[in-house]
Amino acid sequence: MSVLNTLYVGIDVSKRSNVICAIDFEQKVYCAFTALNNEVGATAIKDRITPILVKHKFENVQFIIESTGVYSYHIATFLSSNDELLKYSSIVYCVNPKAAKNYKSSYVDSDKTDPADALMLADFGRVGRTKNSTPWRGPQLLALQRLTRYRIHLTEQITREKNYVLNNIFLKFSEMSVLENKDFPISNKFGATSKAILTDFISSEEIIDMSLEDLTTFISTKGKGRFANPKEVATLLQKAANASYRLDKAAYDPINIAIASSLNCIKTFEGEIKLVSSAIESNIKGINPQGYQILKSIPGIGPVFASGILSEIGSIEQFEDEEGLAKYAGITWRKKQSGKFEAEDTYMTKTGNAYLRYYICEATASVVRNLLEYNEYFMKKYNEVTTHQYKRALALTSRKLIRLIFGLLRKNQLYKSPTNR
């Protein structure tokens, strides 16, 4: 694609309207106007841009849109699939708002207005800053992306609710909230047995007053026989209850209601995650079955992680090398160097796709548990430093996994263990 024969169209999107500015490589402005953010407005944009392409003999057109969630979805889909624009090899980029903002800062005396933003976005494409962005991929893959991103939303809701309920648990049964798993008789504080302890007993006093035999029977019943020594668990539970703070009797009922409600929310969210995960697995098989099987061949990467990664990557062909994929995920590090000094502490850029970064990091944690090669690499990086050990090791191992993902998808190969390579 020749940059000299390309028209660059920047679109500043808002809920009600879009501001459009079109320039060429010489920064000549061909049009600047406003259109409604609906089907009529999208058609008006096409009708204004097409004559310019014909009159000035442009061979290509790029649309650069700042990613604004659902507000940019319809206009991006319309422009990327319009038959008249496809004749000019139209490409639509929804660029990272942070990258666009950083580029805008190079315009020293520029005002913050919608027309100026549209011009800046067009120039963003003109200078080639879109090379680390992903072309708009259309509605089918986006539908999968909405599911995988919604699953992240649900996991964040569960984490938030668990953190919140721990505050109320501390008020009711302080030792249960603060003791580490190795010191508390029940390892899973959100499992069935823990939930029963929190909801069946009004206060920790009831646990203390209960006979050891009855509490042992309670633990055995609620744990469905999973505890090897329920009597020991009951003894430790009474000890923890005895060490807990006491509340005024009037405070227990409201706190119990809040705890029960939070636990119900967590249970509901967990049920929804199962439904969404099932829907994700069904959708990916009809969109990219080959890439899906390639990623699933890596030990530790299951249907959800594979789908999440593929929904954000789209086509691997748009990345020149694994470095480009790493930059798109934001798993790269900036150098801090001056003269002979080079800082040891560097920070991850995190300027790329946050959803792709999430799924790669989660997949890495799973691969580390299932693949010896990656477990050894993780432990090596973990033991190299004394601060931020886990996060550093996980980030570096994620970077290693990116190289593997890129190589397998590019070569269209299934994963082979080191002994079978």
pLDDT at 183 over 80: no
In the chain, % of residues over pLDDT 90: 59
- Give backbone dihedrals phi and psi of 10, rounded to 5 degrees, phi first: -95, 135
Per-residue model confidence (pLDDT) at position 137: 66
pLDDT in tens, 187-197: 788 888 999 99
pTM across the whole model: 0.70
Task: Work out the average pLDDT over 54-82.
Answer: 89
Q: Where are the domains of the chain?
A: 3-136, 149-278, 289-420
pLDDT at 109 over 70: no
Give the three-class secondary structure for 342: strand
Task: Work out the average pLDDT over 207-214.
Answer: 93
Per-residue model confidence (pLDDT) at position 341: 44
Task: Work out the average pLDDT over 147-176.
Answer: 93
Task: Work out the average pLDDT over 221-245.
Answer: 90
Matching CATH number, 3-136, of 3.40.30.10, 3.40.50.620, 1.10.260.40, 3.30.420.10: 3.30.420.10
Per-residue model confidence (pLDDT) at position 206: 93
Question: Kindly report the CA angle at 149 between 146 and 150, in degrees rounded to 5?
Answer: 80
Per-residue model confidence (pLDDT) at position 401: 97
In the chain, % of residues over pLDDT 70: 92
- Specify the residue for token string 């999208």: 42
pLDDT at 43 over 90: yes
pLDDT in tens, 333-360: 766 545 554 555 666 777 788 999 999 9
C-alpha dihedral sign at 127, 128, 134, 136: positive
For residue 17, list its beta bridge partners: 36
Task: Work out the average pLDDT over 282-300.
Answer: 87
Q: Note whether 81 and 44 are within 8 A (CB).
A: no
- Residue in 15, 136, 118, 126 with CA at minimum distance from that of residue 61: 126
Give the three-class secondary structure for 101: helix
* Higher-confidence position of 227 and 342: 227
pLDDT in tens, 61-74: 999 998 877 788 88
The residue type found at 156 is E
pLDDT in tens, 236-280: 899 989 999 998 888 999 999 999 999 999 999 999 999 999 999
C-alpha dihedral sign at 301, 307, 308, 309: positive
The burial class, CB within 10 Å (0-12 / 13-18 / 19+), for 1 is exposed
In this structure, how many other beta carbons lie within 10 angstroms of the beta carbon of residue 15?
8
pLDDT in tens, 362-393: 999 999 999 999 999 999 999 999 888 999 99
